[in-house]
């Protein structure tokens, strides 16, 4: 069977992975390779199979043009399929409007899965707080005051240290790396603060108890070794998963998971390194899409972590895309739609 290329309009075979005339990805091939819902009806069935609460609770309206504030939805209007979000102020942001139903359904499908995981995390956090509140003992006024001042001091020390690292690293590397280093800085700041505060109060610190377990070894040496091991393990993982974006002659390239990807306007395609322009490979910092290079992020470009390719190959259920049991809803849990971000466009 022959179909029309979505980009150049040429007639190509349905089984062609890419258009032989313009090189664009054949979306029809990609959509038959996974097990995601491709129609509004299939998405409704997936929703029901997960035992999710009613639309009015989750605020996801599938097949409905819901006009009230705080809602995600998808519906048909003539030949078009429209994916939308109604913000808290009632303003509607259109995520997609066109004839590609499979693409439209996938946009809402990914957002729904993301929200399910967010709601599950809120429930877990609530259960932990409830359990802690039911079992803790009353704290004396002195301890409350002492821990309050310690907390305030920790906040200012951490804030100041993080700010300095953030500024210095931003000037020489990148904002993402700066934020990462700022988080790493929290560990030594916490150690130093605990030693100072508890030392002044004449109390044993958590770190002193750890020290006793090292059978006479120097605590500072052990702490430094622990931090170094932590960095040795975490930094390669961070760099492996980090997505770096580059723009060259109106084409966006991404480097992540030790691979290169090219953005085709809808999704990302994996490419060989020899397909990446030499200018990018030799001078990455000049083409990286960062604020230092004067680049203001274009919301029309899908983040790599939000793309279909990432969902299929690196997502939590990528090992078996036909199994969505991780998104099943427990009837004992509560769905709080107010925790969602209703001010952004998506």
User: Could you report the per-residue pLDDT of 215-237, keeping only the tens digit for each?
Assistant: 445 555 666 666 666 666 666 77
pLDDT-based confidence at residue 320 (cuts at 50, 70, 90)? very low
Using an 8 Å Cβ cutoff, are 202 and 163 in contact?
A: no
The enclosing H or E element of 222 equals: helix 219-241
Question: DSSP state, 257?
Answer: T
Percent of the chain at pLDDT > 90 equals: 33
Which residues have a Cβ under 8 Å from the Cβ of 116 and sit 6 or more positions away? Answer: 50, 52, 327, 329
Q: What is the pLDDT of residue 137?
A: 47
Is the confidence at residue 135, as pLDDT, over 60? no
Tabulate helix, strand, coil % of the chain (nearest 5): 50, 15, 35
Using an 8 Å Cβ cutoff, are 247 and 295 in contact?
A: yes
**Average pLDDT, integer, range 149-172:** 56
Is the confidence at residue 132, as pLDDT, over 90? no
Is the confidence at residue 39, as pLDDT, over 80? yes
Q: What is the pLDDT of residue 179?
A: 58
| Between 277 and 310, the higher pLDDT residue | 277
Q: What is the pTM of this model?
A: 0.44
**Average pLDDT, integer, range 14-27:** 77
Q: Are strands 60-62 and 71-77 parallel, antiparallel or unpaired?
A: parallel
Query: How distant, in Å, are the alpha carbons of 132, 178, 190 from that of 258?
Result: 42, 21, 34
């Amino acid at each position: 069977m022959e179909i029309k290329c979505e980009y150049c309009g040429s007639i190509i075979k349905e089984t062609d992975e890419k258009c032989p005339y313009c090189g664009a990805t054949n979306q029809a091939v990609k959509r038959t390779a996974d097990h995601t819902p491709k129609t509004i009806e299939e998405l409704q069935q997936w929703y029901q199979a997960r035992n999710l609460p009613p639309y009015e609770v989750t605020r996801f309206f599938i097949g409905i043009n819901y006009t009230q504030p705080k809602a995600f939805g998808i519906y048909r209007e003539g030949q078009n399929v429209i994916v939308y979000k109604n913000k808290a102020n009632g303003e509607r942001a259109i995520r997609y409007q066109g004839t590609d139903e499979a693409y439209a359904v996938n946009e809402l499908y990914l957002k729904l899965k993301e929200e399910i995981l967010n709601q599950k995390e809120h429930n877990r956090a609530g259960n932990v707080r409830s359990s802690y509140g039911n079992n803790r003992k009353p704290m004396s006024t002195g301890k409350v005051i002492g821990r309050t001042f310690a907390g305030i001091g920790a906040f200012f020390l951490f804030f100041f240290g993080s700010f300095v690292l953030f500024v210095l690293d931003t000037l020489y590397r990148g904002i993402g790396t700066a934020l990462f280093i700022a988080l790493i800085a929290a560990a030594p700041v916490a150690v130093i603060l605990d030693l100072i505060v508890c030392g002044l109060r004449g109390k044993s610190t958590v770190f002193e108890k750890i020290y006793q377990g090292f059978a006479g070894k120097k605590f500072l040496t052990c702490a430094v070794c622990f931090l170094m091991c932590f960095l040795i393990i975490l930094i390669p993982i961070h760099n492996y998963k980090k997505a770096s974006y580059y723009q060259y002659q109106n084409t966006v390239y991404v480097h992540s998971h030790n691979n290169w990807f090219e953005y085709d306007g809808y999704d990302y395609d994996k490419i060989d390194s020899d397909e990446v322009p030499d200018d990018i490979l030799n001078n990455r910092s000049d083409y990286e899409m960062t604020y230092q290079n004067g680049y203001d992020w274009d919301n029309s470009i899908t983040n790599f972590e939000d793309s279909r390719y990432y969902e299929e190959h690196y997502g939590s259920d990528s090992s078996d895309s036909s199994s969505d049991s991780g998104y099943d809803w427990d009837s004992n849990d509560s769905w709080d739609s107010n925790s969602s971000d209703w001010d952004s466009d998506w």
